Amino acid sequence: MNASTLRTLLQQLQSGNLSIDQTLDRFRNLPFESLGYANVDHHRMLRQGVPEAILCEGKTEAQVLGIARGILKQGVAVLATRADSKIARALKRLHKKAVHHQEARMVVIQQKPPKAQGDILVLTAGTADIPVAEETKVTASVLGSRVELLCDIGVAGVHRLLHNLERIQQARVVVVVAGMDGVLPTVVSGLIDKPVVAVPTSQGYGSHFGGIAPLLTMLNACSGGIGVVNIDNGFGAGYLAHRINLLPGR
Amino acid sequence: MNASTLRTLLQQLQSGNLSIDQTLDRFRNLPFESLGYANVDHHRMLRQGVPEAILCEGKTEAQVLGIARGILKQGVAVLATRADSKIARALKRLHKKAVHHQEARMVVIQQKPPKAQGDILVLTAGTADIPVAEETKVTASVLGSRVELLCDIGVAGVHRLLHNLERIQQARVVVVVAGMDGVLPTVVSGLIDKPVVAVPTSQGYGSHFGGIAPLLTMLNACSGGIGVVNIDNGFGAGYLAHRINLLPGR
Amino acid sequence: MNASTLRTLLQQLQSGNLSIDQTLDRFRNLPFESLGYANVDHHRMLRQGVPEAILCEGKTEAQVLGIARGILKQGVAVLATRADSKIARALKRLHKKAVHHQEARMVVIQQKPPKAQGDILVLTAGTADIPVAEETKVTASVLGSRVELLCDIGVAGVHRLLHNLERIQQARVVVVVAGMDGVLPTVVSGLIDKPVVAVPTSQGYGSHFGGIAPLLTMLNACSGGIGVVNIDNGFGAGYLAHRINLLPGR
Amino acid sequence: MNASTLRTLLQQLQSGNLSIDQTLDRFRNLPFESLGYANVDHHRMLRQGVPEAILCEGKTEAQVLGIARGILKQGVAVLATRADSKIARALKRLHKKAVHHQEARMVVIQQKPPKAQGDILVLTAGTADIPVAEETKVTASVLGSRVELLCDIGVAGVHRLLHNLERIQQARVVVVVAGMDGVLPTVVSGLIDKPVVAVPTSQGYGSHFGGIAPLLTMLNACSGGIGVVNIDNGFGAGYLAHRINLLPGR
Amino acid sequence: MNASTLRTLLQQLQSGNLSIDQTLDRFRNLPFESLGYANVDHHRMLRQGVPEAILCEGKTEAQVLGIARGILKQGVAVLATRADSKIARALKRLHKKAVHHQEARMVVIQQKPPKAQGDILVLTAGTADIPVAEETKVTASVLGSRVELLCDIGVAGVHRLLHNLERIQQARVVVVVAGMDGVLPTVVSGLIDKPVVAVPTSQGYGSHFGGIAPLLTMLNACSGGIGVVNIDNGFGAGYLAHRINLLPGR
Amino acid sequence: MNASTLRTLLQQLQSGNLSIDQTLDRFRNLPFESLGYANVDHHRMLRQGVPEAILCEGKTEAQVLGIARGILKQGVAVLATRADSKIARALKRLHKKAVHHQEARMVVIQQKPPKAQGDILVLTAGTADIPVAEETKVTASVLGSRVELLCDIGVAGVHRLLHNLERIQQARVVVVVAGMDGVLPTVVSGLIDKPVVAVPTSQGYGSHFGGIAPLLTMLNACSGGIGVVNIDNGFGAGYLAHRINLLPGR
Amino acid sequence: MNASTLRTLLQQLQSGNLSIDQTLDRFRNLPFESLGYANVDHHRMLRQGVPEAILCEGKTEAQVLGIARGILKQGVAVLATRADSKIARALKRLHKKAVHHQEARMVVIQQKPPKAQGDILVLTAGTADIPVAEETKVTASVLGSRVELLCDIGVAGVHRLLHNLERIQQARVVVVVAGMDGVLPTVVSGLIDKPVVAVPTSQGYGSHFGGIAPLLTMLNACSGGIGVVNIDNGFGAGYLAHRINLLPGR
Amino acid sequence: MNASTLRTLLQQLQSGNLSIDQTLDRFRNLPFESLGYANVDHHRMLRQGVPEAILCEGKTEAQVLGIARGILKQGVAVLATRADSKIARALKRLHKKAVHHQEARMVVIQQKPPKAQGDILVLTAGTADIPVAEETKVTASVLGSRVELLCDIGVAGVHRLLHNLERIQQARVVVVVAGMDGVLPTVVSGLIDKPVVAVPTSQGYGSHFGGIAPLLTMLNACSGGIGVVNIDNGFGAGYLAHRINLLPGR
């Protein structure tokens, strides 16, 4: 309910097409729109095919399917994260357009992919970080960003990083996915002037504490320009990178 | 040393304008440039008046002054963070253009402020979070961003937030500074579609653990689009927000 | 053994109906009553059909059945929590009135449900928090409270919460169950003036640390009026909410 | 803007007293009211003399005074917590009715104390826990609850507790304040059937970790009916106990 | 004192340049050599049939059997802890006197049980703590202590504890095994004047953190006279209690 | 009120020397004694000159003096721990027999020292651990144990330890006080067969975390027979060692 | 590309043997060499048969095989760590020289073992630490160090350690692998004057926290000369010990 | 082997019943006695002028002076660490050769500095890390190593590091001192083939947790060859680096 549909509603009341009780009912049934005008546009845009995410972990298959059906009814694309193969099969049975991105543990149901815009570059420090990076890539792609993935350019051999420096400096947003000691975002951000989204992963052992080590490294990075997301949160990184990437010229 | 200047150098050697030893010397004397071509431009741009930061905490007054002098010699602006009043006085004695932003605990030495571009909005959940927010504001302003600060719109009374919703939805980047339970970024990000930079502060007590509580809240935020920086890292938030804010149109 | 039965006992001694040794024996055989007078009534009331809980986790099937039999002998209802399906089947074999609340992981054996009193409202932030909320609901219902459950009204979309505001403000006690960042209790408590019981859940990943993130959020909530229970402790929340709900008028 | 004022507004439109643009303006200018109908009343009630709290820690004297002035202008009482003596003197200069509760580290500015209702009992395990308990007592008293304080009845000598059992069982709400190992709430809650609010304190040393030890004890209490607040959060305990205490009969 | 200087010393003795007493003095004044005397006897005593423990966790079946064989060769009894049923079967194949204490997860191989001396009382707060308590009981029994076990007398109903007070006050050493909030040792130690060995268990969930909650409770116990062992360390508690129990009269 | 005094009371009632109301009054006025028979003796014994401890930290001077006065009135000795010099001076003004043990941060008020019995040996790993060890020594001495202190025999030079082995093996109880890595109790307990009380201290830095490092070392000690107390808890160690030391022959 | 090969390149340009474009291509294709002159030699040396490690954990079988093939193509040996038996079989199918070190969980593919140099001694505190120690041994052996392994000489019986003292004092580097309380490195380093590499293991339970206890012990060791690696990081210890062991005479 | 059996052994030698070789064999075969031989020389060597360290923190001035006097009496040099200026002045009064290294917070008393051998290079990531690095430098120098210090070559600008690469690759041992995110050791070790000693410092704030962040980074370093010491442990790093540096050729 943006300003113009609100106006239409009031006009209908004014013109006698709606009674006051009918108008009040419309308000009651549209409680979200009453929140704030600008918000409405925001919601409308969201509802036109833009994916809505379901975190499958902790939900039953029936719950995931139920939520997916609800989303599809609104004409919105579905983006199921942390979907195991059982959930994936169920979603593929639900909708023929469902695509299972196995490495990213995601299922996407989207009528037609949006035009890829901007330039997000996703880097991984190691091979084991790839699933999280794939989650980032699929997320941002489905939302409408152009995304490229460069793997295994960790700092243990800093030349691998420097070798790709020019490409890295071209990107609008760089997402750096790293487990172990998580030092890659520090080094990358020190070499570029664009925003860096850092994703610690749970790859490691011992005092790695399931990702705390790289998380702390990234939060304490001695080079600036880095925003950190939760451990293994490839989806969150993709969503944030997409928001940044799609910023219009100022 | 980008590709074309490297070509020129080699042409000078080829044409006999430089001897091999002279060419080798050029290489030796330009070690940074040998890293990567684009990097050079990047550095040059950085050196033209863009501030370089000094974290004063843990440094002696003599060290801070020494570093500041070094930066000024390069014609670069100085941005001293976490400067106590003693350091501030010393920097003001060092340079007449030094400005002490007391609440932000910063000293800035800048020949002339850059033109304010874009639109960064900094929100604080509470009054006690203002010093960190001020650090963000000064940092991004000095770097060349237009920044506005809205204080004390925490979630305990959610109407304060909704009251400012329209303004919040207009900004290019929103920085949310919050101590205590740190819930503000979650709520804000759920209402807008622009990137959010979240800054946990050390304001709180008991199981707050000096900022761990809001830090974890922000990392686990159930609404996406949030990049987190270190506890009390107003400088880092300002720098990241500036990088995002200055992105050109894609 | 309250004051009057103690008096009766002493009168029986005085009148020669009991010897001193018999009187001493009565004392020995009633050790609990010697604790405190009021306590006796309290215990008696507890023993008339009020459920007693068995935390099944960490106990063998034989132990659970043994304890359940002991409780039933006292004419008290049984409330088995964290019961897996194997334990549930065994309890159903033990007693025909046993009811298995699968989502809540509970088995209840109760002769006849008490009259539902008062008004407890249980909210969940997400779908994955429902099992804990169900545990709260079953617990408080079995104890004699009227309980209603509203699911998935998390803060990522604050309109879902505001949509239900009127209902929330009507309840005597509101239990808020939330994983991830656990921000819902803060927002809810800021909108009402009744006691809030907050239950962090282990739903989340990475720096969520199995529920520490929402636990800290709730303990540091910037709006007051919130009492926190252990992570995933749906039973404890139901019990506390019931105690509050049944308070008579002052 | 509750249902009836909304109806009035629409009637004015219908009857031609307001144009559509004027009606839309009313919507724009009343953002809070659009949130939820009951909320309005709720806020109004809150604003009639009920104290609003200022956490002084982390705020400058000027900020505390500014906020206090703002609250007083609304005709609301002021409840300043964690006020050091410097802040206390400033508040006493600000308003002649300001009372400094030194042990509780609070300053209260209240036109006339409300009638004390209900029955809150605050227990402390040790002498060193008294300041936190005093904060609870002052808070709930100022809000309108009748509060009594019983000190130093810790479990090391369980007879001290049992000695007071009858009084404890009479209270509507029991607040238990305990540092060290924090076992008192467990024992108390096992002896009564009313809600218990547990407050861990930072009194202790070594592996006490500034209150983590009693906090965990309380969260894991093996007797139910306990709601926990943050370490040293006497204010929060008082506010929660008051909300519970003032519940009308169901 | 390397081989050659030792040889020289002995030669001086042999040649009469040093008396035996002078030679002994040289030994005494060289720190290491004085170490050993009493120790030898001590070791000999230990080797006469006193059990030696094998922690099976983390060892292969072959390793456990190898170590057991080595111990048996020395004529010492074997006490295998944390033995799963596979290890248990293997040890029973190894030696016909092997006894599997299933609940305690232990296997004992002992030619003939020593005479039971003294009086150790083991208490558990809950039913789920019994396996750890059994480990304590078996350990101390096998070493030669008389041990009794009293289960499920936790503090949630303090009368269960007080009911057994006389028996508890009689014991020479009381071992208290408790999970959840771990408050039992505090209460027990406040009622007796004998040493208490406290064993936190991993029974609990959420903020229990696998036993950290009761561990901290016990370390911070506000009543003295308590020595704490590692989480779930029934063996260690039994060994310590045995050392205390067997102290001769002073 | 043990069995025989209870019998006497009942006989007085039976013989008409007490009315029923008088008998009930006796019950009411003796609530502690009703707890358990043996407990009475225990309490009586405790009240005859045995010191009662005051943890001064967190208490005001007035509170400490008030408690001390209360203890002295009962004819019991006072043992004030963690007393700074200001408190010490005040206690010395309160009572002429007050002795300030400065290194131990204790003040003792005791009519006449008890006869020293048994044999407690206190070892420190380093010089900086001495204050805690002194607290242990003073505590156990005041309670009536014979205590000896051996300092700075840490494991960095294992010969220092072995040099004292014979003495260590003679003691009835060994208290080991160690900061840094806290390895001394492991090594000591492996060399003796008597109970070891281990006290971690806060001496160390960095990843020592104020005593967590030695605390964990001691809890995980690979040699058995060790009971651990809280970090820096010299008092607790002394009290536990005394309870063990005074055990009569079995 | 050291100084002389750079000179040669430039001479080829100067002499017309290379065009400018060809010279630029050489630069582009040798990006690593441009990093630093000495680095080149370093890399070359590394590529002559020195193993390169693959951490198998977190990688798919296909990824491990792919990386192994890449390494083998460069003529370098493969050292796969944390390889389960499935990966091991796959690597044995890939290359006939693949050797599976089962206890060490490693697979090595090496044309011919290098000559064993120097003297590394690996000690384990317990039997359960052997797998980690084997990983150290295989790693350093494959790299070219002579390695010996001494197991189960923990400190609980310090004589086992002292018995091997002479051998320990002979080694060039001593690696100490210990779980539980991790005290062995402290004691060993106090007895020798060579570098000690300490490896905490995850062997333990309860407050061991998966290796944190021995890790902290080692970091806080009161004897110096100890470098610590990550929990269970046998590979890292072997690599570090090898680097130290191969240092030429100064 | 107690005193009497030792005496018997010597008598057998004296009387000719045992040869010297037989007597020596008896010593060898008795485990404890074999410990000591080599060790003795080792100790003697240590005692000839090699410094012995005093950690001043936690010790009184009198204790430090007493220990220093004891060391000097043995003709050994004194190395006092973490000495504040008060202790420094006292040590300078004690001995005229005492030198106060202010930045390193050390006092050294050494008759004549040993010849500087080998080549240790100490790097710091930032200016604030210099005090710890100075402690390393002074320690290793005093022990007899040649040490050079390179400051402020952190990774935020990786060119600063690469600029010094040649020098870094020449060193025998590299000590890397870093606070903040602690990434420098990872990058350095990836570029060289010599042992790296990593020292995390407490320089940082927020989620830095007093050095935990860089400590974890270093323990999880994705490049090998790194041994980690405690946070701020410049002394330990210097001592370890010296042990490595002084290794003779193999």
pLDDT tens, position by position, G173-182: 999 999 999 9
By C-alpha distance, the chain D residue nearest F56 is D128
Please tell me the least confidently modeled range out of G62-76, G221-235, H107-121.
Answer: G62-76
User: Is A128 an 8 Å CB contact of chain G?
Assistant: yes
Same domain, yes or no, for D150 and D127?
A: yes
Would you say residue F44 has pLDDT above 70? no
Average pLDDT over residues C243-250: 88
Measured in Å, how far apart are chain G's first and last C-alpha atoms?
Answer: 27
User: Is E58 an 8 Å CB contact of chain F?
Assistant: no
* Contact criterion met (CB < 8 Å) for H162 and B31: yes
- Identify the band that residue E249 occupies on the pLDDT scale cut at 50, 70 and 90: confident
Contact A102, H198 (CB under 8 A): no
pLDDT digits (tens, 9 = 90+) for A84-122: 999 999 999 999 999 999 999 999 999 888 899 999 999
Report the half-sphere exposure of H155 (CA within 13 A, side-chain side).
29
Range of the domain at C221: 117-245
Question: Environment class of residue A45 by beta-carbon count within 10 Å: exposed (0-12), middle (13-18) or buried (19+)?
Answer: exposed
C205 vs A contacts (CB less than 8 Å): 57, 230-233
Entry field: residues in chain F: 250
Mutation choice for C interface testing from B183, B184, B223 by most C CBs within 10 A: B183
Same domain, yes or no, for D104 and D168?
A: no
Q: Specify the pTM.
A: 0.87
Name residue B176's beta-bridge partners: B123, B198
User: Is D207 an 8 Å CB contact of chain F?
Assistant: yes
- Identify the band that residue E248 occupies on the pLDDT scale cut at 50, 70 and 90: confident
Please tell me the least confidently modeled range out of F3-7, F42-46, H170-174.
Answer: F42-46
* Contact criterion met (CB < 8 Å) for D187 and E158: yes
User: Which chains are adjacent to chain A, needing at least 3 Cβ pairs under 8 Å?
Assistant: B, C, D, G, H
Residue D172 is predicted with a pLDDT of 96
- Identify the band that residue B27 occupies on the pLDDT scale cut at 50, 70 and 90: low
By C-alpha distance, the chain C residue nearest A234 is C206
| Contact: chain D with chain C (3+ CB pairs below 8 Å) | yes
- Mean pLDDT per 10-residue run, chain H (250 residues)? 62 83 61 31 42 89 91 86 96 96 95 91 94 97 95 75 84 96 93 94 95 96 94 97 90
In one-letter notation, the amino acid at residue B175 is: V
For chain G, the average pLDDT equals 85
D14 vs A contacts (CB less than 8 Å): 13-14, 20
Q: Which is more confident, F15 or H31?
A: F15
Residue A99 is predicted with a pLDDT of 96
Give SS3 for A109: strand
| Nearest CA-CA partner of D40 in D72, D4, D79, D76 | D4
Kindly state whether residue C25 falls inside one of the protein's structural domains.
Answer: no
Same domain, yes or no, for F100 and F125?
A: no
Same domain, yes or no, for D180 and D219?
A: yes
pLDDT digits (tens, 9 = 90+) for E37-70: 223 333 433 444 567 889 999 999 999 999 899 8
D162 vs C contacts (CB less than 8 Å): 35-36
User: Is D144 an 8 Å CB contact of chain F?
Assistant: no
Kindly state whether residue A7 falls inside one of the protein's structural domains.
Answer: no
User: Is G166 an 8 Å CB contact of chain H?
Assistant: yes
Residue B4 is predicted with a pLDDT of 57
C154 vs B contacts (CB less than 8 Å): 222
Contact E191, E152 (CB under 8 A): no
Residue F74 is predicted with a pLDDT of 74
In one-letter notation, the amino acid at residue E237 is: A
Residue E40 is predicted with a pLDDT of 32
Residue F43 is predicted with a pLDDT of 40
pLDDT digits (tens, 9 = 90+) for D139-165: 999 999 999 999 888 777 676 777 788
User: Is F183 an 8 Å CB contact of chain G?
Assistant: yes
- Quick one: how far is CA E140 from the chain centroid? 7
- Identify the band that residue C30 occupies on the pLDDT scale cut at 50, 70 and 90: very low
Q: Residue window 5-24, chain C: list those with CB within 8 Å of chain F.
A: 6-7, 10-11, 13-14, 20, 23-24
Kindly state whether residue D26 falls inside one of the protein's structural domains.
Answer: no
CA E180/CA E192 separation, integer angstroms: 23
User: Which chains are adjacent to chain E, needing at least 3 Cβ pairs under 8 Å?
Assistant: C, D, F, G, H
Same domain, yes or no, for F129 and F159?
A: yes
CA R_g for chain D: 22
- Identify the band that residue D87 occupies on the pLDDT scale cut at 50, 70 and 90: very high
Residue H59 is predicted with a pLDDT of 92
Kindly state whether residue A71 falls inside one of the protein's structural domains.
Answer: yes
User: Is D191 an 8 Å CB contact of chain E?
Assistant: yes
Average pLDDT over residues G62-77: 87
For chain D, the average pLDDT equals 85
Average pLDDT over residues F234-246: 96
The percentage of chain F sitting over the pLDDT mark of 70, rounded to a whole number, equals: 85
Nearest to C20 among F14, F20, F31 (CB): F14
Residue C43 is predicted with a pLDDT of 40
Q: How many CB pairs under 8 A join E and G?
A: 33
* Contact criterion met (CB < 8 Å) for C225 and D239: yes
Would you say residue F39 has pLDDT above 90? no
For chain B, the average pLDDT equals 85
pLDDT digits (tens, 9 = 90+) for A122-147: 999 999 999 999 999 999 999 999 99
User: Is D232 an 8 Å CB contact of chain B?
Assistant: yes
By C-alpha distance, the chain C residue nearest D50 is C193
* Contact criterion met (CB < 8 Å) for G215 and H215: no
- Quick one: how far is CA F63 from the chain centroid? 21
User: Is A38 an 8 Å CB contact of chain C?
Assistant: no
By C-alpha distance, the chain A residue nearest G36 is A159
Question: Environment class of residue E77 by beta-carbon count within 10 Å: exposed (0-12), middle (13-18) or buried (19+)?
Answer: buried
Would you say residue B98 has pLDDT above 50? yes
Residue E44 is predicted with a pLDDT of 35
Q: Given D109, D144, D162, which residue is the final one in a domain?
A: D109
C7 vs F contacts (CB less than 8 Å): 20, 24
The percentage of chain D sitting over the pLDDT mark of 70, rounded to a whole number, equals: 85
Kindly state whether residue B36 falls inside one of the protein's structural domains.
Answer: yes
Would you say residue F162 has pLDDT above 90? no
Please tell me the least confidently modeled range out of A4-8, D85-89, G7-11, G245-249.
Answer: A4-8
Report the CATH number at residue E127: 3.40.50.1970
* Contact criterion met (CB < 8 Å) for D250 and C195: no
pLDDT digits (tens, 9 = 90+) for C127-149: 999 999 999 999 999 999 999 99
Kindly state whether residue G2 falls inside one of the protein's structural domains.
Answer: no
Residue E42 is predicted with a pLDDT of 35
E168 vs D contacts (CB less than 8 Å): none
Nearest to B162 among D31, D63, D215 (CB): D31
Question: Environment class of residue C29 by beta-carbon count within 10 Å: exposed (0-12), middle (13-18) or buried (19+)?
Answer: exposed
Same domain, yes or no, for D138 and D239?
A: yes
By C-alpha distance, the chain G residue nearest F180 is G220
Please tell me the least confidently modeled range out of F69-83, G119-133, H226-240.
Answer: F69-83
Same domain, yes or no, for E86 and E195?
A: no
Contact A245, A172 (CB under 8 A): yes
The percentage of chain A sitting over the pLDDT mark of 70, rounded to a whole number, equals: 85
Same domain, yes or no, for A141 and A222?
A: yes
Kindly state whether residue H186 falls inside one of the protein's structural domains.
Answer: yes
Kindly state whether residue C14 falls inside one of the protein's structural domains.
Answer: no
H/E element, D196: strand D196-200
Residue F9 is predicted with a pLDDT of 76
Would you say residue C116 has pLDDT above 80? yes
Q: Given C55, C75, C109, which residue is the final one in a domain?
A: C109
Would you say residue C42 has pLDDT above 60? no
Would you say residue F29 has pLDDT above 70? no
- Identify the band that residue E245 occupies on the pLDDT scale cut at 50, 70 and 90: very high
Please tell me the least confidently modeled range out of A177-181, C48-52, F114-118.
Answer: C48-52
Q: Where are the alpha helices (DSSP H) in chain D?
A: 3-14, 20-29, 37-47, 61-73, 85-94, 130-143, 158-163, 165-170, 184-189, 212-219, 234-245
| Nearest CA-CA partner of G241 in G118, G134, G101 | G118
Would you say residue E34 has pLDDT above 70? no
Same domain, yes or no, for E49 and E90?
A: yes
By C-alpha distance, the chain D residue nearest F36 is D159
Q: Which is more confident, F159 or D121?
A: D121
E212 vs C contacts (CB less than 8 Å): none
List CB contacts of D28: < 8 A, sequence separation 6 or more.
A37
C106 vs chain D: nearest CA distance in angstroms?
A: 17
Contact G15, G41 (CB under 8 A): no
Number of domains in chain B: 2
By C-alpha distance, the chain D residue nearest B165 is D31
Name residue F150's beta-bridge partners: F123
Would you say residue G36 has pLDDT above 70? no
Same domain, yes or no, for H192 and H218?
A: yes
List CB contacts of E46: < 8 A, sequence separation 6 or more.
F193
The conformational region for residue F144 under phi > 0 = left, psi -120 to 50 = alpha, else beta, is left
pLDDT digits (tens, 9 = 90+) for B185-199: 999 998 888 999 999
Mutation choice for H interface testing from G219, G222, G239, G242 by most H CBs within 10 A: G219
Mutation choice for G interface testing from F152, F158, F184 by most G CBs within 10 A: F158
Q: Given E53, E85, E109, which residue is the final one in a domain?
A: E109
Residue B227 is predicted with a pLDDT of 98
pLDDT digits (tens, 9 = 90+) for E162-188: 778 889 989 999 999 999 999 999 999
Same domain, yes or no, for D105 and D163?
A: no
Would you say residue E143 has pLDDT above 50? yes
* Contact criterion met (CB < 8 Å) for E57 and G205: yes
| B72-76, B163-167, F224-228 — most confident range | F224-228
CA B133/CA B226 separation, integer angstroms: 17
Same domain, yes or no, for C67 and C140?
A: no
Within chain G, strands assigned E span 52-55, 78-81, 99-101, 106-109, 117-124, 145-150, 173-178, 196-200, 226-228
